[in-house]
Every structure is written in C-alpha cells, then in structure tokens.
Amino acid sequence: MFRKVFIANRGEIALRVIRSCKELGLNTVIGFSEADRDSLPVKLADEKICIGPAPASASYLNIPSVISAIEITGADAVHPGYGFLSENIPFVEICEASRIVFIGPSAENIRMMGDKSFAKKTAKSYKIPVIPGYEENVLKAALAHAKKIGFPVIIKASAGGGGRGMRRVNTIDEFHKLWTTCQEEAKASFGESALYLEKFLERPRHIEVQLLGDKRGNIMVFPERDCSIQRRHQKLIEESPSPFVGEKLRRRLCGYAYKLAKKIGYRSAGTIEFLVDSDGRPYFIEMNTRIQVEHPVTEIVSGIDLLKSQILISQGDRLGFTQKDIKIKGCAIECRINAEDPSRNFMPSPGRIEKLVLPGGPGIRVDTHIYEGYTIPSYYDSLIMKLISYGRTRAEAVERMQRAFDETVIGGIKTTIPLYKKIFEHPIFLSGRYSVKWLENFLESESAKVSAEAAKN
C-alpha cells in the first residue's frame, strides 16, 4: 500500500485526486507552480512543494523538477491527472527506473497507443475497423491516398490531441499548405511533427468507451460516453449513455474496446474513442491512456469511483466489483465551464473571482478548484469547473442542468455558461440528434444573427 502520493497536476483534477487519496487513507503532497501557490488543491493537500515558475514548461512539464520534488518529499507514487505528464513516456520510464509507482499504465502501453498512427495500425491488426486513411508520415504518398479515398480528408498529428496539428482538407490545392501548417503546429505543441491522414466523415458522432484494466489481466468496460458537442475538436459537453447508441451498437463498441485493451495487456484507467457515422458504423480513432476530463458522467451512471479504482490498480489490489456489476443507471451530462468570453470568439478571461455561488440540489455535482477571491492565472487551460447533472431520464438530467446554470454566479470574469444556456434550449440538442459539427454550425448561425442585428442598428 502506498504511504504518500505525489500529485503532479493542478486545478480541479488535482483536487479530485486529493479527495480520492483521503478517502483511501493516503497522504498527499502536491507540486505547484508559483502561479498556483494560493490554489485550493495546494491548501488541501497534506504537503506542498513548489516545482517552478508559472509557465508549465518550467514547472508542471519540467521532469527533473517533478522527479526531484517526489524524491525530496518521500512520495512512493505519483498521480499525473490528465494533460501535462500523464502520457509522457520518458517521465513514466524515469519513474519506473526510480521505483516510483506511476499511477497509470506502463510506458509500453502508452508507447503503443500514444502514437495515433501506430495505434490505428494496431487496432486494424486486431480486425477493429478504422477510418480509411494513410498512417505513414510521407507527404507525397499521403496525397496519393487522399486522391484515392476522395476529399475531404483530415490531416492529424500522430502525437496530437485537443485539435492541434489537425486540419480538414477539401481540395488537392490545399493539401501541401495545410500539411506544412499541421507539421509546424504538431512540432510546437508536442515536440513531434509526424502526421497521418484520414477520410473526413460527414456528421459523425464521437463516442468513447471507458475501461479499467488490472494487473491480473482483467478488463472491465463501462457504458459509452457521447462527446459530440465540440468546438474546434475540443469537447464541451459529454453525456452517458449516448442518446444515439442502441444496445446492439453498445455491445459492438464495448466489444472492440475490450478486445484492444486485452490484446495490448492494458492496465489502469483508459478510454477508447470512436467516430460513428450516420449509419451506425463505428471506427476506432484513438486511445487515451489516462483518466479523462469527462470521467464523472461514467462514475455517476455506473456508481463506480474511477479515480479510486485507478489508484487501487496501481497498488496491485483487487477491484471490489466485476463486469456484471457495471450497469447503466439513469443519465448524466457534464458541461465544461471555461473562463472564456463566447461573445468575443472565446477569448480567455483570467482574473479575480469577486463573487461565487455554486449550484446544488438533487442530481447536481460540481467539480471545481475555484473559490471566492481566487485569481485564475493566465498561464494554463481555461477550464475552471465541471457541472454534472444526473437524472432518471435524459430529460430530467437536462432540466437539472438548466436549473444549475440559473443558480451559478461567477462574478469578476466571463464564462461559457451563457452559451450552454442556449445549447440546452435548442431543439437539436434536446432531441439528441446532434453530430460533431453541430455546435460549430450553431455558433456560425448565432454570429450571423449578431451581425444582422448590428447592421440594423
């Protein structure tokens, strides 16, 4: 059993890990940057240690600094949360060599699935369907394949994520320019410029399957999450179960996820992601070898604490449930609340929170690290809160989320709550008939309305 867990992250996920550790009776120590000195996770951890200046490159991504902090504080395990070092192979290898337990998968697991091009090849070798495309980082051959499978296509960074190093290409003439653009973005964001190519699917759904794998070779899969409400490939709303997925498709998706995780000997929490076309055909796109931002919706409908399970797996403990215990109970929806101004093209809105009123009542969960008087720094991701609603039906979960929006007050900064209010009133969202491109089309129509009103005045 661990004595002390080092938390190599910040924000709401750091606080979530602290809470899970406390419930398991584990001591915690958090490494923080100078910009996060007054953050709630730093206040609530048993110990704290500064790991560097505000920029992430000098603190949360500074491997020597993080490893030194772990050794100085005597922690015997490290939880990376998501982002930052959560899928960094050199960091995991150093932990393994230093006898520090990395609360996550092995370096080999991350290596197999971290490169999206290689992951697609692996999935294809196990007869799991993938989107037609080309996995080699060769421009001339990729263009030839694009002509073969037909435009539009999408260029993606092999080591990418979050929409960076990704572009839709509609014509042959655009291909060379956008390939170069993606290479530059990928190099700047991930330190690796390799790209791959896929056929662009019109109006797909983004569906993912959460899983847990333990050190005894057991793989358990959970009800799917629908992550199709996205802006620029960034997820904003997730729900479980998907209003699009029926029982037959659910069994198919879970079967593919189980098969891939079993074949690669996966352990820890992970998520296998699919695009599903309008005819219900699923295609593997990637595996995230970490806990996901949207994990709470799965926890709520399954009744299983994924963070605790992840820690127990790393300790080598048995999980207290089996696959038969994992069932869908009701519906859960998560909204990622960002410190951004939707009316100004989602401009970041860091600053001091002058007033804060959080929602509550039946079926509402709030995951956040903010408090009244806290200053949101400008150096990191703009996520400040996750609002999660639960209902016996999707309609009840929607109604409770709408109530939560009305109860929430965050003074001093701009947030994305006004946008969510509009989304949760829209007939397409309410019907569950949205696709990956729906939100961007909705935002374009809203922008056109504003421009028309301005022209009248």
What is the set of active-site residues? Answer: 290
Sheet holding 101-102, edge to edge: 47-52, 27-33, 4-7, 77-79, 101-102
Contacts of 266 (CB under 8 A, 6+ apart): 105, 109, 211, 213, 219, 260, 289
Helix ranges (H only) for 104-246 are: 107-114, 116-125, 139-149, 172-190
In sequence order, the 6+-apart residues with CB closer than 8 A to the CB of 43 are none
d(CA 139, CA 158): 14
The CA-based dihedral angle spanning residues 321, 327, 332, 336, taken in that order and rounded to the nearest 10 degrees: 50
Alpha-carbon span 215 to 297, nearest angstrom: 25
Provide the strand spans (E) within 190-259: 195-199, 205-213, 219-221, 225-231, 234-240
Strands 101-102 and 77-79, by their bridges, are parallel
Pair 352, 412: CB distance under 8 Å = yes
How far apart are alpha carbons 45 and 96 in whole angstroms? 24
For residue 35, what are the CA distances in angstroms to 10, 231, 349, 361?
11, 28, 16, 33
Non-local CB neighbours of 49 within 8 Å, separated by 6+ positions = 29, 30, 31, 32, 69, 72, 73
The tokens describing 152, both together, are: 């539009």
Could you tell me which residues come within 8 angstroms of residue 62 by beta carbon, excluding any fewer than 6 positions away? 51, 52
**Contact at 8 Å (CB) between 99 and 124?**
no
**Phi then psi for 205, rounded to 5 degrees?**
-105, 145
DSSP-derived letter for residue 130 is B
Radius of gyration of the chain (CA): 22
Whether residue 438 contacts residue 206, with contact meaning beta carbons closer than 8 Å, is answered with no
End-to-end CA distance of the chain: 67
